[in-house]
Structure 1
């Protein structure tokens, strides 16, 4: 739990407990917003496109002519080789996009939107000292810059 005192001191305390709504029941009714479905859809699309690019790329090693006055030669025309390289590059990029989307989906958590101004009761599971003595004062941007300049002069 965190709050800002009138003198600008930010207080943050670790607490365990429940929030009781206006109806006297634990918890508050709200709208659940879960955007992980979008990330899963992006991952699925990137995976499908990656598979399609793998289908389109051509394997140059399967079309090598063994005999030639110049040694082994490639049976692919320049245009085909360029298309295969582009498909390989696109496939690699789409694989990376799919990995990124999976990591993003794993980090997402649903959010519960609750209307502001609601009156609630907080019930603590165990005792907590809510005095701000151990809290740190909030720094303004000017204070932080001044502190950084002083630190630079010390070195």
Structure 2
């Protein structure tokens, strides 16, 4: 029994020693993890201190900049101060405002010498608010602009001028405003480059061929007339010769008249078919305002005409 008891005690001691070793290992791991956490905490504290220092430095710089800006003299304009109190982008579109727009409607602008009609009308839709210096934005998104387009064959461009703008609110309210602006294309130049289309070449070619055959017919008719005169001088009065030559000359004369009319018809068609410059819808352009205008102003054109009259 004593031996059995000793064996049991030895087994228990061995198990206790094993558990003790495991506990020591776990304690070692916990100490290592605690050390890592302490190191991480120190690193975070140093990072927090660095951020606080940077924040304090930035605040100090901002305060210094604010003091300097307060000391800068304000820009002033000559005139009545009361008239300029409400000059804000919420009530007025300044000159030089740039707004990116998409061309909603296409156009075929005639570039003939004698234009049958006036300039083409176009519709543009702003894609964003107008841009100004100092990161100022003019609320123009949600509006439409109506302009007129005129083609120029020398530069192969279409020049567009903005005439009217309609601002629309979500509740359905709208304000119409007369504007003065021009369109700058994708290449940064005034106007938009288009495709020159001229369909009068085929008509002119047909007219040239008709005139050529008319001249050939007139030459043949003149030759036949000379032959008839020679026959009459040799044979004398002959009804047979007169009948044959008369019919032949009459046929050539009718053909010449028909070719003459056909050539005139082709020429008239070529006058009606005039060259034009095509611009497609969907192109993104810049609309640049050239004159400051208050929202809702309706007499801008009269003011511009009056200024031109005073200058001229």
Q: Same fold (TM over 0.5)?
A: yes
Contact 1:65 1:72 in 2 (8 A): yes
Q: Which residue of structure 1 lines up, in the alignment, with residue 229 of structure 2?
A: 62
1:29 aligns with 2:193: yes
State the secondary structure of the residue aligned to 2:192: coil
- The Cα of 1:51 is off from its aligned counterpart by 0.8
Maintained 8 Å contact 1:63/1:75: no
User: Where in structure 2 are there 5+ consecutive unaligned residues?
Assistant: 1-119, 124-145, 151-159, 162-181, 292-299, 303-312
- Asked if 1:94 is matched to 2:267, the reply is no
Describe the SS at the equivalent of 2:214: helix
Q: Does 1:47 align with 2:183?
A: no
Instruction: Please give the secondary structure, in 2, of the residue aligned with 1:120.
Output: strand
Q: Which runs of 5+ in 1 are unaligned?
A: 5-10, 130-155
* Structure 1 CA distance for aligned equivalents of residues 185 and 147 of structure 2: 23
For these two proteins, the number of residue pairs brought into alignment is: 121
Distance 1:54 1:74, change over 3 A: farther
TM-score, with normalisation over the residues of structure 1? 0.55
Q: Take 2:274 and 2:252, find their aligned partners in 1: how far apart are those partners? A: 35
TM-score by length of 2: 0.31
- Choose between structure 1 and 2: higher strand proportion: 2
Q: Which residue of 1 aligns with 2:75?
A: none
Contact 1:63 1:74 in 2 (8 A): no
Distance 1:65 1:43, change over 3 A: same
Please state how far the C-alpha of 1:45 moved relative to its aligned partner.
0.2
The 5 A counterparts of 1:135-154 are none
Q: CA deviation at 1:92?
A: 0.6
Equivalent residue number for residue 117 of structure 1: 282
Q: Using CA pairs under 8 Å that are at least 6 residues apart, name the structure with larger relative contact order, 1 or 2.
A: 1
Tell me how far 1:65 sits from its aligned partner: 4.0
Aligned equivalents of 1:114 and 1:97: distance in 2? Answer: 34
